[in-house]
Amino acid sequence: MDIEGRRAVVTGGAIGTGRAVAIALAAAGAEVVVADIDEVGGRETVDRAGADRCRFVRTDLTDPQQTADLITSTRPRILINNAGGGGHLPPHFPEASAEEWERLLTLNLIGPMRATQHALVTMRSDGGVIVNISSIAGLGLGPHPSPEYSAAKAGVIRFTATLADVAPARVVCLVPDWVATERVTDAELASDPPPIPIAAFTDAVLGLIADDSLAGRVMLLPQVGQPQLLA
């Protein structure tokens, strides 16, 4: 899909990977909608991307109605389900209360599923691309500090792969390792191996959007080596 002239919604676009993707999409000619609960960060993203190409819509992606309103009002041709995180913040399952770990599941799995369901209504007639952002925490069979976070991210991967046949829309997934966002310290940048450069992350997202041969595919973005399709 050509990015230029398309409307793109980026959830979790107020900081980090979401901000970087929003800026990259605007630079590629998209009309970008930044969705986040962080109004200050969201408006800073708009300023950096350019107010002529980007606007902010305050949205809580754990709220079903706000999620529905975001998608139905903007009708994106490109949807980046980037909102998520929280896996590093204690308490974790089983010490966390049911309300705490359910909210993390909602943000990282149910929210993207809701947004995808609404987006497919219009994309199935007009076409479009949905990029789900997972995490390496969702891969493998070993322990993880946050079982609820890793389970949610594993769910995003499997959810994407089941949607290989929703043409003319496409649903794909990016599974990054540690990414060098603005929150990474100098010491962390100097680690071996270093975090993934933010430009490599945005290049991978834009590549998944552009490649019309990819549907229901999952791409791993490792700290070392080249991106690779897992499914």
Q: What is the pLDDT of residue 190?
A: 85
Give the amino acid at 173.
Answer: C
Q: What is the pLDDT of residue 192?
A: 85
Residue 125 in tokens? 């007639």
CA 18 and chain centroid, separation: 7
Q: What is the pLDDT of residue 92?
A: 94
Q: What is the pLDDT of residue 113?
A: 98
Mean pLDDT by 10 residues, the chain (231 residues): 97 98 98 98 98 97 98 98 92 96 97 98 94 97 95 98 96 96 85 93 98 97 95 79
Quote the pTM value: 0.96
Q: Three-class SS of residue 112? A: helix
Q: What is the pLDDT of residue 101?
A: 96
8-state DSSP, 83: -
Domains within the chain, CATH numbers bracketed: 7-229 (3.40.50.720)
Whole-angstrom CA distances from 173 to 145, 153, 176, 185, 208 are: 23, 11, 10, 27, 8
Q: What is the pLDDT of residue 182?
A: 87
**Containing H/E element for 170?**
strand 169-176
Q: What is the pLDDT of residue 11?
A: 98
